[in-house]
Structure 1
């Protein structure tokens, strides 16, 4: 039985899931199948890494499941809400209130302080933050003495911690992180990964992270592997060594097929 067949999706119990999800770009000679009939679920309170070679569809999968990109066929769900059935206003509300995002490039506003960046999503929504939750998030990321600083006054690692705190500020159902350590040195990257791990363990969050780094993936509870738009493997309790071994095996298989 293939890994694709083993992976099922249950929108009633998962924080996010995909059912028969396909994404096609272009037409005719330029047609590219980025995702092909993908079924996967991300359990609540779990840290999942998505890995695969360049062009495998890992970032496309995350963007489709986070409502950042449309899908060609199948369905994407946040909890029991099917994203494809929502209008633009409803989809914006789901992304704002139920999903947190962390990107490689931090995406902070240079004119705002760390605290103002963290609370920006709730301010845009026209409501104040939950102060008790905000204090807990700030303590977890270790930013209490940096809240009045602007991004230019912070290191790369500190900026990414601000971005992580911003993703958590609205107490989302799930956080999607796209190569969150890609612009950081190894020490800062390790701090961010440990923080994401703590978010799951101590704050009960659900994190889905796209990465190409076996060491980063080893912080997760589970690693889902993609190749050519398909889920081809699923590894639980990963270590850097087991992830690297699996990646090498998949690379060998792709070159012999």
Structure 2
């Protein structure tokens, strides 16, 4: 099983996960028996060539897609056996998401967007935690602005705050800097890194960018639906060398 710090409790674990799209001669095996755990309080990047299965793996881990066979656990909860209602509740209460598209509601202010998941869940806001999150993310002076009044980097930081506020067990980030320039990308990655270091957050990020991956504690590599490598303490150069060896 690939993971750094196996003595650390796993936030998410996949065991022999297979994902097949379609059936018969046209079936596509996107994941071919993937087994991996993601340690609590660590930042893991998932990388691989186009079509390697990295986004499919993240979607299965997050309960956004069903597995064909195998097991996925979030903490001690086996999610492949949950009903749709229970799975929706788990994603709402225990999982955070940061996407390439910021997915902010344009008519709401930054603060309203950040609070939206808690409002929908009927949960009380911990104002001290809210204040800490927006301070760390550097958006305390932007809370009254709507998304159209914010830069791309600021919008993504709002999205990060929205993901952090419910204190999820794990945040899944799918190409979170894909729509940002290099300066804004560095800001967002710095804050994701800080959320792990200072807030104990667990982050699993899919990225194609070696620089983005270098912010993680470890990188795992997929190719043709299988795990093919693990790189602790990554640097952009080491990530790039590994990707080249995989033909990415």
Q: CA RMSD in A?
A: 1.4
* Structure 1 match to 2:36: 40
Deviations 1:119-158 (A, max 9, x none): 1000000122111111111001101000000000000000
d(CA) in 1 for partners of 2:231, 2:15: 20
Among 57, 60, 67, the residue aligned to 1:61: 57
* Structure 1 match to 2:86: 90
Among 17, 21, 26, the residue aligned to 1:21: 17
TM (norm. structure 2) is 0.97
Q: Secondary structure, in 3 states, of the residue corresponding to 1:231?
A: strand
Q: Is the contact between residue 49 and residue 246 of structure 2 (CA under 8 Å) also seen in structure 1?
A: no
Deviations 1:226-249 (A, max 9, x none): 000000000100000100011111
d(CA) in 1 for partners of 2:42, 2:103: 25
1:136 aligns with 2:132: yes
d(CA) in 1 for partners of 2:104, 2:163: 11
* Structure 2 match to 1:255: none
* Structure 1 match to 2:2: 7
User: 1:204-223, aligned counterparts within 5 Å?
Assistant: 204-223=200-219
User: 1:72-83, aligned counterparts within 5 Å?
Assistant: 72-83=68-79
Consecutive aligned runs of 4 or more in structure 1 exceeding 2 Å deviation: 6-10
Q: Is the contact between residue 3 and residue 38 of structure 2 (CA under 8 Å) also seen in structure 1?
A: no
* Structure 1 match to 2:199: 203
Q: Is the contact between residue 53 and residue 227 of structure 1 (CA under 8 Å) also seen in structure 2?
A: yes
Q: Is the contact between residue 17 and residue 39 of structure 1 (CA under 8 Å) also seen in structure 2?
A: yes
Unaligned runs of 5+ in 2: none
Unaligned runs of 5+ in 1: 1-5, 253-257
TM (norm. structure 1) is 0.93
**Count of aligned residue pairs for this structure pair:** 246
